[in-house]
Amino acid sequence: MNILGLISRNFRRDPATYRYPERHVPATRFRGIVRNDTAKCIACGICDHVCVSGAIVVVGHDDHCDWSYDPGRCTFCGRCVDLCPGEALSQDGDRAPTYARSGDLAQGEQITYPACPECGLPARPYNERLLMIAHDDISPEFRERIKLCERCRRRRSQTVLTKGLGGAADTERNADGA
Partner 1 sequence: MRLIDSLVRTSRRRSPWLFHLNAGSCNGCDIELVACLTPRYDVEQLGIRLEGSPRHADIIVVSGPVTRTTRAALETVYAQVPDPKVVVALGSCPASCNVFAGSPTVEGPLDRILPVDVYVPGCPPRPDAIIAGIAEAIALLAEGGHA
Partner 2 sequence: MTVGRALFQLLVFPGLLYAVPVAWLMLWMERKLTARLQGRIGPPFYQPFFDFVKLLAKRPLPRPPLQALAMSALPVLAVAGTLGALALLPVFPHSGGFTGDLVLLVALLEIPPLCAVLAGFVSRSIYGELGATREAVLSIAYSLPFLAALVALAAAANSLSLSVISQQAMWQVRLPALLALALCLPVKLRVNPFSVANAEQEIYAGATTEFEGPRLALWELAHGLEWVALTGLWAVLAFPAANAAWPLRAVVFVAISLALVLVLAAVAAATARLKLAQAARVYWLWGSALGVLAMVVAVVWP
Partner 3 sequence: MSPVIPVGPYHPALEEPYKIELDCDGEAVREAHITVGFNFRAIEWLAERKNYTQDLALVERVCGICSNVHTLTFSRALEQLAGVEVPARAQHIRVVVHEAERLHSHLLWAGIAAEVIGFQTLFMTCFALREKVMDLLEAVSGNRVNYAMNKPGGVTRDIVDPGMVAATAQAIRTAMEREIIPVFTTDRTVRARCAGVGVLTRDEALAWGALGPVARASGLPQDIRKAAPYEIYDRLDFEVPVRPEGDVLARIVVRALEIVESCRIIEQAVDGMPAGPIDAGDFIPVPAGEACARIEGPRGEVFYYVASDGSDVPLRVRIRTPTFQNMPTVALMVREQTLADVPLIQASIDPCYSCTDR
Options 6-14, 34-42, 122-130, 143-151: segment touching partner 3 (CB under 8 A): 6-14
Q: Among 12, 13, 23, 29, indicate the residue that binds partner 3 (CB under 8 A).
A: 29
44 vs 116, which CB is nearer to partner 3?
Answer: 44
Query: Which own/partner pairs from 61-66 qualify as long-range (CB within 8 Å, at least 24 positions apart)?
Result: 62/122, 63/112, 63/113, 63/122, 64/110, 64/111, 64/112, 64/113, 64/122, 65/41, 65/110, 65/111, 65/113, 66/108, 66/109, 66/110, 66/111
Query: 98 vs 139, which CB is nearer to partner 3?
Result: 98
Q: Least CB distance from residue 23 to partner 3, whole Å? A: 13
Q: Does 16 help bind partner 1 (rule: CB under 8 A)?
A: yes
Binder among 35, 64, 73, 79 for partner 3 (CB under 8 A): 79
Could you give the strand order of the β-sheet that contains 107-112, starting from the edge strand earlier in sequence? 56-60, 64-69, 107-112
**What's the Cα-to-Cα distance from 159 to each of 118, 164, 167, 168, rounded to whole Å?**
14, 8, 12, 14
Strand partners, 108: 68
Q: Which is nearer to partner 2, 11 or 175 (CB)?
A: 11
Closest distance to partner 1 from the beta carbon of 148 (Å): 40
Interface ranges with partner 3 (CB under 8 A): 1-3, 6-7, 10, 16, 26-31, 49-53, 75-79, 82-83, 91
